[in-house]
Amino acid sequence: MAEETPINSTRPVRAAIVALVRNSDLFGLRLAIRQIEDRFNRKFQYPYIFVNDEPFTEEFKQGVRDLTRARVDFGLLDEESWTVPKWIDKARYAEVKRTAKYPHGEKDSYRKMCRFQSGFLHKHPLLADLEYYWRIEPDVEYFCDIDYDPFLFMRQNGIKYGWNIAMTEFMDTVATLWNTTMAFAQENPQMIAKRSMRNWLVDANGAYNGCHFWSNFEIVDLSFYRSAEYQMYFDYLDRAGGFFYERWGDAPVHSIAAALLLDASQVHYFSDIGYFHPSVLSCPADARTRSSCVCDSDSSFVQNGLCTVRFKEERHHALFPDAKHEAVH
């Protein structure tokens, strides 16, 4: 994708900390905000934006505002962005929900949530002026001070997608996601980046290996999700119906899009940010020598996990194809 932003600009970044949440998430969200404030935002004062498929209660709004001096906006979703689209076959979908064996397999709301985060969050009117967002969720924790501005870091380095945890997916939830993606890629070959992270996604047989970034943490240059390429990809997936006939997550959808549509240099691993989402902890390797950190890097298996290690290798290979056998750090 073309670079639209002047890289060395020091003008303030139009960015916000964003989440889709329910009223019942108040206490988990307060935990997350308190940590984001302590570790980062007390210094930087980025605004927050929370959206919900139901109106937020006054108790919720007050409970959030009590924790920050930054601006907080609360929004509601429109009908189209939180629905089972009319082209979904109701009988087929009902049968899927009845028989699905994976987590949240019986739920409408979880599927609507994944579809919303995949295709609509970045289009919400409250986000219209933003260049970047940082997604948070209830119950996430931040273990170390973040002394620099990740948004500015991303702009200065031309990064479009920043992640912190990479994992493999429950494959039954994405049974046809890869084949659907490959059909899209065949119809739109010019959209696939020359130096893409495609190899990070495939196993030795060319099938999807399930690797994806956990999108409960993602810092994104929204020009990526607003691009015609991403929009066409999302629409193609939405039409295929897998958000409902399976349970495609916004995490694999965002990840596959980032790995195929972006240049490998535009995807960044924030390994220095200590982060927890139930039940996975990512603790920086140097946490013991950073006085602000309160996590144990020895218990952070995800930083050495398969998808993380392969990300580093494949990114290196994509960017330096002639240096295949060098060690990757």
For the segment 19-38, give every residue that binds ligand GDP (CB under 6 A): 19-22, 25
Q: Output 48 or 184, the one with its CB closest to ligand GDP.
A: 48
Q: What Rg value do the Cα atoms of the chain yield, rounded? A: 19
- Residue 18: exposed, middle, or buried by beta-carbon count in 10 A (0-12, 13-18, 19+)? buried
3 state DSSP class of 65: helix
Of residues 131, 169, 218, 246, which has the active-site annotation? Answer: 218
Examine the residue annotation and report whether 80 is marked as an active-site residue of this protein.
no
For the segment 106-135, give every residue that binds ligand GDP (CB under 6 A): 109, 113
Helices (H) and strands (E) in the chain, counts: 13, 12
DSSP helix, strand, coil percent of the chain (3-state; round to 5): 45, 15, 40
For the segment 120-139, give every residue that binds Mn ion (CB under 5 A): 137
- Per-residue tokens: 75: 């929004």
Asked if 124 and 51 count as a contact pair (C-beta separation under 8 A), the reply is yes
Q: Output 109 or 157, the one with its CB closest to Mn ion.
A: 109
Verify binding: residue 302, ligand GDP, rule CB under 6 A: no
Q: How far is the CB of 193 from ligand GDP (least distance, A)?
A: 28
Give the interface size with ligand GDP as a residue count (CB under 6 A). 12
Verify binding: residue 53, ligand GDP, rule CB under 6 A: yes
To which H or E segment does residue 269 belong?
Answer: strand 267-269
Distance in angstroms (rounded) separating the CA atoms of residues 215 and 117: 9
Verify binding: residue 216, ligand GDP, rule CB under 6 A: yes
For the segment 216-235, give every residue that binds Mn ion (CB under 5 A): 216
Distance in angstroms (rounded) separating the CA atoms of residues 89 and 161: 34
Q: Output 35 or 216, the one with its CB closest to Mn ion.
A: 216
Q: How far is the CB of 25 from ligand GDP (least distance, A)?
A: 4
Round to the nearest angstrom and report the end-to-end CA distance of the chain: 26
Q: Output 19 or 261, the one with its CB closest to ligand GDP.
A: 19
Distance in angstroms (rounded) separating the CA atoms of residues 59 and 64: 9
Can you say how many angstroms the Cα of residue 86 is from the centroid of all Cα atoms in its chain? Answer: 27
Given the rule CB under 6 A, which of 14-22, 85-93, 234-242, 313-321 is the region that contacts ligand GDP? 14-22
113 interacts with, out of Mn ion, ligand GDP, none, CB within 5 to 8 A per kind: ligand GDP
Catalytic residues: 218
Positions touching Mn ion (CB under 5 A) are: 137, 216
Q: Can you give the binding site for ligand GDP, defined by CB under 6 A?
A: 19-22, 25, 52-53, 109, 113, 137-138, 216
